[in-house]
Amino acid sequence: MGFSALTSITAVGINVATGFADNSAGFTIDYSGTGQHIAYIEDLYDVNATDLASAVDAKFAAVTAHVDLAAGSDATGQLVWTFASASSGIVAFPVVSLVIPRKS
């Protein structure tokens, strides 16, 4: 939902509705229009795997790559959003804790 859907109020926040890539392992949105304010977003929620191990591996790979991006120089000083939720058709994800080791 973009800011245009809000009526009779003054919108406050960052509008990332334009350019949001649904179900993507990684995309960017220039939310200021100047090239100086970039949102790096991971929102791969439907990994489309047929077995639980492959589904978890696919989501884990997307999240790990995005966390690595946040720790690297490309996203320094920018917004980085990583959504850890996921599903895969009829394969139900168990409730798990996701731990990604920090690189030294």
How do 38-42 and 79-82 pair as beta strands? parallel
Cβ atoms 84, 63 nearer than 8 A: yes
Residue 80's identity, in one-letter code, is V
Cβ atoms 58, 97 nearer than 8 A: no
Query: What residue has token string 């394969």?
Result: 91
Strand intervals (E) in 1-104: 27-30, 38-42, 79-82
pLDDT tens profile 35-87 = 888 889 998 888 887 777 888 888 889 989 988 888 887 777 788 888 887 77
Helices (H), the chain: 52-71
Does the predicted model carry a pTM greater than 0.75? no
